[in-house]
Amino acid sequence: MSSFPALDIVSILILLLLGRLLGLALSRWGISSSVGEIVAGLVMAVLIRCMGLSGEGIPTLASIGAIMLMFLSGLYTDYRDFRENLGKSTAVAAGGVAGTMALVYLALKGLGFSSTTSLIVAIVLSNTAVEVTAKVMLDDPPAPKTKALIMGAAFADDILALFMIALATSGALSREVILWSSVKVSLFLLISIFLLPRILSAGRLLDRLYRSSERVELRLLTFSVLLALALSLLAAEMGLNAAIGAYTAGLAIASWGSKVEPLLRRRAAFVGLVDMIEPILRVLLTPLFFGYIGILMGEGLLEGIGSFPVALTLALLASMMLGKFIGCASVSAALGAEEPITVGVAMQGRGMLEYVIIMVVATSGLVDPTLFLAMTVASMVTMISTPLLYRVVRRGGEEAS
């Protein structure tokens, strides 16, 4: 009988321990715990390299963490506010994507890269990581309408960027490719955002679950997790980020939980569901997810020792952050949002999806190793800086008010 790989368990144990200790320590100073978890991953990358530890089991757990983080974020999002702000959110997302693409493209062209390479990198770096935004909102939520606007913008941003990335890397921008991609994305959004919440409410399936057993939360938890995984799979099949599917599953459950009934049993069941998921996420899955991001960052830094492209990395970092901030903040201000600066800062973070896409374009020969390293490090810096900048902006707003 085979046993679990001992080195995997040791690596997971060390990463969890370091992540929790550093996360709790930084949170006492008002810094997001995700920063400490990323730093733990950096340390873990060195331990894997120097001590021969195995980190093979961590990516799978990190992927589960990303899915459950997005699911919980959907549960915390007010479905009515999300629907009401969907148009504004899409406009903010489009502004952020356009601003980032423009500045990154101009920066790379100025450094002598070809138009094709500059465009592909600009598209890849234009995406906001919904899981990073979700974690920032979870640690320090703004006003409900601002939160709904930000999460909706991150959601729409992911879809816009992934759509353009799929086209850019398809090798043939034919009318058929564009039309088929548009149909798949539209179909997924129709099913997950507009039809599913109505089906859950009209069919009263969840009502039967929580009324038919004393173990209400367990039944509801089982159904909810299966729904999150199913929609994640559907989103991936449609060419989108699997985390988007998990987020829409959370939205659908949140829509059901927000319906008011005389005895408030539905609301109590919904709150019980959230209370069961959040501790596991915070203690186990989130530290592994952000720790894995730190491991990727550490591996990139270790590989680039002695030939690190400092100027290129700084140029990418400045253009991608400034473009995203200007695009999102200016559009949200034009639309009358209450906290446009908060919106611009909260949309900065890049995450696991970007690293996967960067790896794809690198292995396809679309970018050289030097540009690959610069893209990776610049993206990972936004992972660390976004929670810090967001906290500074939130504190400044609280003091001003």
Q: What is the DSSP string of 155-181?
A: HHHHHHHHHHHHHHTSS---HHHHHHH
Q: Are 119 and 105 in contact (CB under 8 A)?
A: yes
> pLDDT at position 169, please?
55
> pLDDT at position 1, please?
42
> pLDDT at position 213, please?
56
d(CA 230, CA 243): 11
Q: Are 148 and 74 in contact (CB under 8 A)?
A: no
- Crossing angle of helices 130-139 and 144-168, in 10° steps, is 170
Residue-by-residue pLDDT tens, the chain, 401 positions = 445 555 578 888 899 999 999 988 887 876 667 778 888 988 988 888 887 777 777 888 888 887 888 788 778 777 776 777 778 888 999 999 999 999 999 999 999 998 888 988 898 888 887 767 877 877 778 888 888 888 888 878 777 766 676 566 555 455 666 677 777 777 887 888 778 887 777 656 666 665 655 566 677 888 888 999 999 888 888 777 677 788 888 888 888 877 766 656 777 778 888 888 888 888 888 888 888 878 877 777 777 655 678 899 999 999 999 999 999 999 999 988 788 899 999 898 876 566 656 655 665 667 777 787 788 788 878 877 888 888 888 877 666 65
Q: Are 150 and 335 in contact (CB under 8 A)?
A: no
Contacts of 274 (CB under 8 A, 6+ apart): 72, 75, 76
d(CA 321, CA 128): 10
Q: Which CATH code fits 66-282+307-400?
A: 1.20.1530.20
pTM above 0.85, yes or no: no
Q: Rounded to 5 degrees, what are φ and ψ at 337?
A: -65, 150
* Amino acid (one-letter) located at 101: M
- Dihedral angle over CA of 286, 290, 292, 295, nearest 10: -150
Q: Cα–Cα distances in Å, from 35 out to 39, 253, 355? A: 6, 30, 18
Q: How do the domains of the chain map onto residue ranges?
A: 66-282+307-400
d(CA 141, CA 331): 21
- Say which residue the tokens 């100027």 belong to: 311
